[in-house]
Amino acid sequence: MKRLLGVALGILTAIGGFVDIGDLVTNAVVGSRFGLSLVWVVAVGVVGICLFANMSGRVAAVSGRATFEVIRERLGARAGLANLAASFLINLMTVTAEIGGIALSLQLASSVDYLLWIPVAAVAVWLVIWRVRFSIMENVTGLLGLTLVIFAVAVFLLKPDWGALAGQLAPTVPQQETFWSYSYYAIALFGAAMTPYEVFFFSSGAVEEKWSVKDLAQSRINVLVGFPLGGLLSVSIAVCAAIVLLPAGVSVTSLSQVVLPVAEGAGKLGLAFVLVGMVAATFGAALETTLSSGYTLAQFFGWSWGKFRRPAQAARFHLSMIVCLLVGMAVLATGVDPVLVTEYSVVFSAIALPLTYLPILIVANDPQYMGEHVNGRVVNVLGMVFLVIILVASIAAIPLMIVTGAGS
């Protein structure tokens, strides 16, 4: 049982990356417009995040250093600050979106306007960060978020034509879409899989749980269970949309359309599961991104941090998270669409992605940090290949966003 619960960190991290509010909608959009022709991108992204999350977990377990300390130490103050600015903005935008996402999910369940749920959601997130133990937090949100597996169940209950579905898997641009919007969504999916806050959260979580060299196997299990599961959830949302929404010609614009296929396939019970899952997943993502904001700032400036300390012993860390939540609430109070907010965070990934993964790769090869646990040759080759992919994706992100009008 302990082993089983031990993967909660990986699961929570992956849920925040793969099925947060922005991805819930993006996956359904992708499924309803491109069918399954972008599934390969998720597969590539899962391999990439497994590779680098495992590296960052190993660095944290062996040397006790979380990822942003490593980034500052290797890149120096200037490039480190550029990464901090970009990563922090991604975090802040995602925090904002997730609080809105919790509110939207609660609106779907209760029919009470989402603007009224926003303060409730923000205070709930803060209370958990302020008071709840890290292990309880990750176990509860991780396990509840797993109810999103209902999307995968719904795929079977919808009894699709499996042959036709498999035929869509080939990476080709559908007739009614342009190459540019296809590429834009490919990068959005890849960026969602590789969002930097996942490694910040995962490595800091490893420090919070006081992992050491003994826990390297645990770290690997976390990575190999958590991220593929996140990828599976993200793909099954797209498949659901491809089965139900694509033939009907529905273009997804809101969260209620995302759950439509589940309601059709799995009925009321399925709908109940999906609502619980969406609240838990957005809540988990809100926790992950809020904590990541605190982790990145504290680790860059060398402040005392961590939920394992009393809040008074990590004062600036807790203050910065309170400020983030307040800013998020203020932005949402303007009535901005929460889903739209995450889509624009793709722009900042352009700076943050390469500047995050390069230092991890360098330090994972540094014997001063790692001793005998430095990267093997295969991991290094794969790491270099992925750095090239990341660089291409990050350079292409902004031009594609402008050309396609953010995918519309």
Minimum distance of other proteins from residue 338's CB (angstroms): 27
Interacting residue with other proteins among 146, 224, 250, 309 (CB under 8 A): 309
With the C-alpha atoms ordered 253, 49, 197, 362, is the resulting torsion angle positive or negative? Answer: negative
326 binds other proteins (CB under 8 A): no
State which of residues 307, 355, 401, 407 lies at the interface with other proteins (CB under 8 A): 307
CB of 368 to other proteins, least distance (A): 6
**Contact pick of 43, 115, 133, 333 for other proteins (by CB under 8 A):** 133
Q: Are 185 and 44 in contact (CB under 8 A)?
A: no
CB atoms within 10 A of CB 92: 21
The answer to whether the beta carbons of residues 171 and 37 sit under 8 Å apart is yes
Q: Is position 33 an interface residue for other proteins (rule: CB under 8 A)?
A: no
CB of 108 to other proteins, least distance (A): 32
Residue number with CB closer to other proteins (180 or 308): 308
Listed in sequence order, the DSSP H helices in 302-407 are 315-333, 338-363, 367-370, 377-404
Contact predicate 233/46, CB 8 Å: no
Task: State the nearest-atom distance from the C-beta of 33 to other proteins, in Å.
Answer: 43
Tell me how far CA of residue 169 lies from CA of 12, 155, 242, 251, 372, in angstroms.
Answer: 28, 15, 11, 20, 42
Rounded Cα distance, 96 and 101, in Å: 9
Q: Does 372 interact with other proteins (rule: CB under 8 A)?
A: no
Judged by CB, which is closer to other proteins: 64, or 160? Answer: 64
Q: Which string of b and e fits 332-364 if b means at least 16 CB within 10 Å?
A: beeeeebbebbbebbbbbbbbbbbbbbbbbbbb
Q: Which is nearer to other proteins, 78 or 268 (CB)?
A: 78
* Spatial contact of 8 and 218, defined as CB atoms under 8 Å apart: no
How many residues sit in the footprint of other proteins (CB under 8 A)? 37
Examine residue 80 and tell whether it contacts other proteins (CB under 8 A). yes
Minimum CB separation from other proteins for residue 398, in Å? 24
**Residue span binding other proteins (CB under 8 A) among the ranges 76-84, 236-244, 265-273, 289-297:** 76-84
Residue 303, interface with other proteins (CB under 8 A)?
Answer: yes
Least spacing, CB of residue 355 vs other proteins, in Å:
14
Residues 81-100 that bind other proteins (CB under 8 A): 81
By C-beta, is 135 or 404 nearer to other proteins? 135
Do 41 and 177 touch, CB atoms closer than 8 A? no
Contacts of 306 (CB under 8 A, 6+ apart): 204, 207, 208, 314, 317
DSSP secondary structure code for residue 376 in this structure: P
Binds other proteins (CB under 8 A): choice among 268, 312, 334, 372? 312
210 binds other proteins (CB under 8 A): no
Out of 48, 60, 67, 72, the only residue in the binding site for other proteins (CB under 8 A) is 72
Pick 20 or 209: Cβ nearer other proteins: 209
- Measured CA to CA, the distance from residue 102 to residue 131 in angstroms comes to 20
Contacting residues toward other proteins, per CB under 8 A: 63-65, 69, 72-73, 76-78, 80-81, 130-134, 298-305, 307-313, 315-316, 318-319, 368-369
